[in-house]
Structure 1
Amino acid sequence: MPAPRVLGGRYEVGSLLGRGGMAEVHVARDTRLGRMVAVKLLRSDLARDPSFQARFRREAQAAAGLNHPSIVAVYDTGADTTVEPGGGRVELPWIVMEYVEGRTLRDMLRTDHPLAIEECLSITEGILNGLEYSHRMGIVHRDIKPANVMITPAGEIKVMDFGIARAVSDSSATLTQTSAVMGTAQYLSPEQARGEQVDSRSDLYSTGCLLYEILTGRPPFTGDAPVAVAYQHVSEQPRPPSALAPQIPPAVDHVVLMALSKDREHRYQSAADFADDLRRAVEGRPLRGASFATQTFAAAPPTAATTVTPPVAVPVSPPTGALPRVSDGDPPYEEEPTRRRWPWVLLIVALVLGIGGVGTALLNNNDDGSGGGEQTSSAPATVEVPDLANSSQADAEQQLTALGLTSTVTQQADDTVADGNVISTNPEPGAQVTVGSKVTVLVSSGSNSAVVPDVSGKTQEEARAALTAVGLSVGDVTTGDSPTVDKGEVISTDPAAQASVPKGSAVALTIASGKVTVPDVTGKPLADAVKQLRDLGLSTNSTETTVPTDADPGTVVTQDVSPDSSVDVRTLVNLTVAPDRTATESPTSSPTDSPTASASPSSSPTSSGSQTGAVGTPTGDGNGQ
């Protein structure tokens, strides 16, 4: 049997877990830590590009800094040198990740759809929790899709492939390549489709596409070719989800349409805002966002299926029940017959972009006063942005509205500003802005730090619950010896209890093994030996040796458990001790008729010069120590 392939001198590569357009994923064993991991190996044809390798390593290192329960952790990265059939050598990058048992959301949709609305929203909220953390750490995923979301048997949500998607986005891959990028066209944001720079709001658009699919059974846009789908993301409006699944309530329609706004300024500005409206939709409370969704879809002719009612006006009842299965062929929503129209789509895209450029130039000319149009003689009214620091969000929005300004709220963790209060504004206080301008209000979402709780003496499950309750997660789990902590309970944490760490940090646990190492106590006074063993949680018993010894009286001669042995706590160690009285010899009485000699029961007539030795009898300490 061939020896297993070993990466980095420690990862034994096992069976194949899955293949993608870019990589293979294998289960592996970390021989150093004794745990199972997943190893992703990049395809050899992509690995030949040195610039891609550099981006791959850089992004993998960035992803390795993400520690959150909703993100598949990246443990390590490296490269393995392989020899090609022609004799050439190539560096094949690999990434070691957390091994997660479960199945992807893509597999779940194939077998379990339809899902209950509450389950759809719960899955999406789990994804948004991971994105909120990654965005706060400066990492944009760029490839949110059902295949990159794992669901564990316990129902935990894990977002995968951080970093790799970033590296692919930075590479020369395009929509025309037959690679993994093509498969993600259904979840591309409009700015990604236009080739513009993306930010965290692009992930929120992709999450909106994912939510649309798990609610209705299909993505918001489909087409014959990736470029056709990309064109729809840029220029077409999706139908409300309730048009495909009538049981979806208006509030959920609003949340989805808000996330799918073409203009990123009109989407949710953070994953936390998106998740908050999801919870409000489930609980039947008025939504805080989704104000732009109504405006965005107002251009479409109102119908019974597409009319959107502002969610703040009428709170909705919490959604219940499972969604009906919707297929592409179910009337009255039958898709158009498949035909090859993507070459025309390319032409249309080029025309739209060209016309848009001309229109923009004309507008700029008119704005500069060179278009011959009528000029106004008065400047627009301006107001001063007020100082809203430490005001509540509601007060800040009221003040801005009173001044004729609109507000966009974003959230950020802050250790100095109370939860729900304003940190800062953009533009800054004192700036002169035109009436009707938008002011971005940065609101504190609370402290970003957490205090590590004292979980010593708790079981691993109890410790995990206590850490999760304060926004922390469990990191590496190791075992250690302790005479005072029962087997399976926590001895210590790293960082230590009461330490202040960023929320989302992983805390390593040391769990009691229930064993201790027996020391060598031979040659020590009995009292010292007994104390040393009992301090380790061991029991002792001692007896005096019957074998002649030169050891000092009262010292340990032997122990029945070998030194350096690992034994269970409370194991009995038997000690033998040199007697307090050494053996002595005394001459017998002379063979005379003296009364003393004849009266001694131990004396007997012997031949002249014979002796009887008297030896002390050893006894145990009788205390059963």
Structure 2
Amino acid sequence: MSEDPLLLGGRYEVGELIGRGGMAEVHLGHDTRLGRQVAIKMLRSDLARDQSFIKRFRREAQSSAGLNHASIVAVYDSGEEHSIESGGAKVAVPYMVMEYVQGRTLREILTDRDHLPAEEASRVTEGVLDALAYSHRMGIVHRDIKPANVMIAKDGTIKVMDFGIARAIADTAATMTQTQAVIGTAQYLSPEQAQGQTVDARSDLYSAGCMLYELLVGRPPFVGDSPVSIAYQHVGEQPVAPSARENTISEDLDAVVLHSLAKDREKRYQDAGAFRNDLQAARLGRPISAAAMASLAALAAGPAAISTSEPTEVYAATTRPRDGSPGAAPGSTTSTFPAAVDPAERGRRRGATYVMLTVGIIAALALLGFGGSQYLQMREDAKKVSVPVLEGKPRATALKLLSDAKLGFTETTAKSDTVPEDSVIEQTPGAGTRIDPETTKVAIVISTGPNAVTVPDLRGMTVAEATEALTTAKLAIGTTTKVDTDDQPKDRIVSSDPTLGTSRPPGSIVNVSVATGLVVLPDLKGKTQDEAAAALINLGLTPKTDYRQTSRAKEGTVVDQKPGKDEKVAVGSVVTIVVAQKLPPPPVTTTPSSSSSGSPSPSGTPSPTPTDSSTPTIPPTP
């Protein structure tokens, strides 16, 4: 006999495994309440005791739940399943319930097809950019755009997965990491990510450019033996134009790709909409932006700009004999006597020699002076050290890096809505600057926390869990209101005030509504049987149908319900609806005709007469 499937949250059946990553497993699931297929992502059981992974998983749910876009895989619900280990310890395993997309990832498609035609690659990337434009407006940076995180549904819809969780799921390719965070997959890493700098929306656009490059030519712009070697290329090497690897690619599409891969984020596309507009223009044969064409021209001029002088042409020397005969052929040697020179000419030559000698002495002294200054400069440079990357790092980490580099520092504080509390907002001098530790100190600005914090998603949590989540977000729980609804199981939070994603000052109160586990019955009388049953199912109730014969209501409509309207019942209860049926037709009886003389009726046949209890039978007239 087969085991009963695992049921999460009282409604989600966990089915077969359909995906696995570095941190989570994805199962095909079934929502028993709404009767639909879903995808259920669960934290791996071996990581369920690690609080850092649990926090990352929760952060993924909070980031993704606030996104509602056709090109983004939707997150329907989240929660935690409590299990008992063999030793008796109770472990909470978080899970997320997501939209189930039937299709294939771009990584799987590229494995089969090597690369895509330019028009198809452009269309797919435009869909990804649509999703990024929306997520960036919502304040969420993906940080891990790559083919493995983009799905093509069976109907051709583009779906971007794993928003805000670049640290959670590992790709098959190597991953670059920094303190406390995975910052992206090496082949699609932006230069600022590779250098440990803060990441913004333009970093996603660079990664999208790397993905577009691979879709067009079958390989990312930079490859190497290790993630570190690839990261170095992202920072210091220019990509080869896609058309150099696939000659069917147009010059305009070259320009769009190369502009998206500009090393300096200030010189690449500044928002996903501009990137998408240029990509669509290149696909449709319309003019693209001047900025994109400038990026193409700059890359094309790069190697040629190293030297602009014309090559030196070398000619063979010829010598004419004193007798005036033609010179010897190139390569031959002809000896001559020196020509006679008059005294005036000799004086001019001697003066020129003195000038040349003087110039030579001056040049030698200049070189000597330059060499000495260079030597002194080298000695000074030898004492200098490079300032490490501090921005975005926790204060303790930053101080350790400064100590290792034997650099002094000064410290100030400031509020920041983007940098976590007790982390470095800004540093002066900047990372990579070489300074003399004896004369220069590094100034760092430490975040004291945000001016405002965002209300997290509390839906589906218990009051205790919500209290913990709000405390972590530097907010406080307020009043708890009981509501009758089937949106959440009993004692789970249905909504919050302020709502998810609202910004509030730290310490603000958040009121919550908690499900009682009850629902209020509507008035079902007069509805059709199907309408009443659907209304009950939508409330999480089970309809049961009885029938009653009556002439006072239309057949198939509800004439009664048990319990009655406005009564409260527990979610999952059985509600009886009484449905009208037609009365059976009245019976028909035959009454023979009779007369006083006993003679037959004029027609010679008996007359059928219906019998009705209210109408007496009248004998025929003789």
* Residue in structure 2 matching 1:617, options 599, 607, 611: 611
| Residue-by-residue CA offset, 1:174-213 (whole Å, 9 max, x unaligned) | 8369x99598111111121122221111111111000000
Q: Is 1:47–1:91's contact at 8 Å kept on the other side of the alignment?
A: yes
Q: Distance in 2 between matches of 1:65 and 1:126?
A: 19
Higher alpha-carbon deviation: 79-88 or 351-360: 351-360
Please give the secondary structure, in 2, of the residue aligned with 1:62: helix
Q: Distance in 2 between matches of 1:121 and 1:290?
A: 16
| Residue-by-residue CA offset, 1:407-446 (whole Å, 9 max, x unaligned) | xxxxxxxxxxxxxxxxxxxxxxxxxxxxxxxxxxxxxxxx
| Residue-by-residue CA offset, 1:591-617 (whole Å, 9 max, x unaligned) | xxxxx9955879xxxxxxxxxxx9961
Q: Which residue of 2 aligns with 1:5?
A: 6
| Residue-by-residue CA offset, 1:98-120 (whole Å, 9 max, x unaligned) | 11111110000011233211111
Residue 58 of structure 1 deviates from its aligned partner by 3.4
Residue 21 of structure 1 deviates from its aligned partner by 1.9
Q: Distance in 2 between matches of 1:101 and 1:54?
A: 29
Please give the secondary structure, in 2, of the residue aligned with 1:290: helix
1:444-483 pair list within 5 angstroms = none
Residue 47 of structure 1 deviates from its aligned partner by 3.1
Q: Distance in 2 between matches of 1:300 and 1:14?
A: 56
Please give the secondary structure, in 1, of the residue aligned with 2:166: helix
Q: Distance in 2 between matches of 1:107 and 1:277?
A: 27
Q: Distance in 1 between matches of 2:388 and 2:164?
A: 33
| Residue-by-residue CA offset, 1:214-234 (whole Å, 9 max, x unaligned) | 111111111111122112112
| Residue-by-residue CA offset, 1:262-294 (whole Å, 9 max, x unaligned) | 111111111111111111101111102415524
Please give the secondary structure, in 1, of the residue aligned with 2:93: strand
Letter in 2 for 1:142: R
Letter in 2 for 1:41: M
Residue 249 of structure 1 deviates from its aligned partner by 0.9
Q: Is 1:61–1:77's contact at 8 Å kept on the other side of the alignment?
A: no
| Residue-by-residue CA offset, 1:426-470 (whole Å, 9 max, x unaligned) | xxxxxxxxxxxxxxxxxxxxxxxxxxxxxxxxxxxxxxxxxxxxx
Q: Distance in 1 between matches of 2:210 and 2:216?
A: 10
Q: Is 2:15–2:28's contact at 8 Å kept on the other side of the alignment?
A: yes
CA RMSD of aligned residues (A): 4.6
Q: Which residue of 2 aligns with 1:108?
A: 109
Q: Distance in 1 between matches of 2:294 and 2:140?
A: 26
For the structure 1 residues 107 and 168, does the alpha-carbon distance in structure 2 shift closer, same or farther, using more than 3 Å as the test? closer
Q: Which residue of 2 aligns with 1:118?
A: 119
Q: Which residue of 2 aligns with 1:301?
A: 303
1:185-196 pair list within 5 angstroms = 185-196=186-197
For the structure 1 residues 92 and 299, does the alpha-carbon distance in structure 2 shift closer, same or farther, using more than 3 Å as the test? farther
1:269-284 pair list within 5 angstroms = 269-284=270-285
Q: Is 1:140–1:166's contact at 8 Å kept on the other side of the alignment?
A: no
Q: Which residue of 2 aligns with 1:576?
A: 584
Q: Which residue of 1 aligns with 2:249?
A: 248
Q: Is 2:24–2:169's contact at 8 Å kept on the other side of the alignment?
A: no
Residue 68 of structure 1 deviates from its aligned partner by 1.4
1:70-469 pair list within 5 angstroms = 70-165=71-166, 175=176, 181=182, 184-288=185-289, 289-294=291-296, 297=299, 300-302=302-304, 359=433
| Residue-by-residue CA offset, 1:348-382 (whole Å, 9 max, x unaligned) | x98998998565769xx9xxxxxxxxxxxxxxxxx
Residue 57 of structure 1 deviates from its aligned partner by 1.6
Q: Which residue of 2 aligns with 1:31?
A: 32
Q: Distance in 2 between matches of 1:100 and 1:81?
A: 27
Q: Distance in 2 between matches of 1:361 and 1:291?
A: 38
Q: Distance in 2 between matches of 1:148 and 1:75?
A: 19
Letter in 1 for 2:59: R
Q: Is 1:261–1:296's contact at 8 Å kept on the other side of the alignment?
A: no
Q: Distance in 2 between matches of 1:104 and 1:284?
A: 28
Q: Which residue of 1 aligns with 2:555?
A: 533
The percentage of counterpart residues that share the same residue type is 55
Q: Which residue of 2 aligns with 1:406?
A: none
| Residue-by-residue CA offset, 1:265-324 (whole Å, 9 max, x unaligned) | 111111111111111101111102415524752663149xxxxxxxxxxxxxxxxxxxxx
Q: Distance in 2 between matches of 1:146 and 1:59?
A: 19
Q: Which residue of 2 aligns with 1:50?
A: 51
Q: Is 2:45–2:93's contact at 8 Å kept on the other side of the alignment?
A: yes
Please give the secondary structure, in 1, of the residue aligned with 2:198: coil
Q: Is 1:266–1:292's contact at 8 Å kept on the other side of the alignment?
A: no
Q: Distance in 1 between matches of 2:51 and 2:219?
A: 38
For the structure 1 residues 262 and 80, does the alpha-carbon distance in structure 2 shift closer, same or farther, using more than 3 Å as the test? same
Q: Is 1:104–1:148's contact at 8 Å kept on the other side of the alignment?
A: yes
Q: Which has the larger radius of gyration?
A: 2
Q: Distance in 2 between matches of 1:17 and 1:119?
A: 27
For the structure 1 residues 85 and 356, does the alpha-carbon distance in structure 2 shift closer, same or farther, using more than 3 Å as the test? same
Letter in 2 for 1:576: P
For the structure 1 residues 15 and 535, does the alpha-carbon distance in structure 2 shift closer, same or farther, using more than 3 Å as the test? closer
For the structure 1 residues 29 and 286, does the alpha-carbon distance in structure 2 shift closer, same or farther, using more than 3 Å as the test? same
For the structure 1 residues 297 and 50, does the alpha-carbon distance in structure 2 shift closer, same or farther, using more than 3 Å as the test? same
Q: Distance in 1 between matches of 2:556 and 2:89?
A: 64
Q: Distance in 2 between matches of 1:166 and 1:482?
A: 54
Per the normalisation by structure 1, the TM-score is 0.51
Unaligned runs of 5+ in 1: 304-348, 366-480, 493-508, 511-515, 537-562, 568-572, 580-595, 603-613, 620-625
Q: Is 1:520–1:564's contact at 8 Å kept on the other side of the alignment?
A: no
Q: Distance in 2 between matches of 1:238 and 1:350?
A: 28
Please give the secondary structure, in 1, of the residue aligned with 2:246: coil
Q: Which residue of 1 aligns with 2:365?
A: none
Q: Distance in 1 between matches of 2:216 and 2:527?
A: 53
Q: Is 1:258–1:268's contact at 8 Å kept on the other side of the alignment?
A: yes
Higher alpha-carbon deviation: 288-297 or 34-43: 288-297
Q: Distance in 2 between matches of 1:235 and 1:566?
A: 77
Unaligned runs of 5+ in 2: 306-384, 390-404, 406-428, 440-523, 559-575, 588-593, 601-607, 614-622
| Residue-by-residue CA offset, 1:469-521 (whole Å, 9 max, x unaligned) | xxxxxxxxxxxx99999x99xx99xxxxxxxxxxxxxxxx99xxxxx989746
For the structure 1 residues 566 and 254, does the alpha-carbon distance in structure 2 shift closer, same or farther, using more than 3 Å as the test? farther
Please give the secondary structure, in 2, of the residue aligned with 1:143: coil
Q: Distance in 1 between matches of 2:265 and 2:239?
A: 16
Letter in 1 for 2:263: K
Please give the secondary structure, in 2, of the residue aligned with 1:103: strand
Q: Which residue of 2 aligns with 1:16?
A: 17
Q: Distance in 2 between matches of 1:229 and 1:599?
A: 123
Letter in 1 for 2:202: R
Q: Is 1:182–1:226's contact at 8 Å kept on the other side of the alignment?
A: no
For the structure 1 residues 535 and 41, does the alpha-carbon distance in structure 2 shift closer, same or farther, using more than 3 Å as the test? closer
Per the normalisation by structure 2, the TM-score is 0.51
1:540-579 pair list within 5 angstroms = 564=577, 574-576=582-584
Residue 59 of structure 1 deviates from its aligned partner by 3.2
For the structure 1 residues 267 and 47, does the alpha-carbon distance in structure 2 shift closer, same or farther, using more than 3 Å as the test? farther
For the structure 1 residues 58 and 114, does the alpha-carbon distance in structure 2 shift closer, same or farther, using more than 3 Å as the test? closer
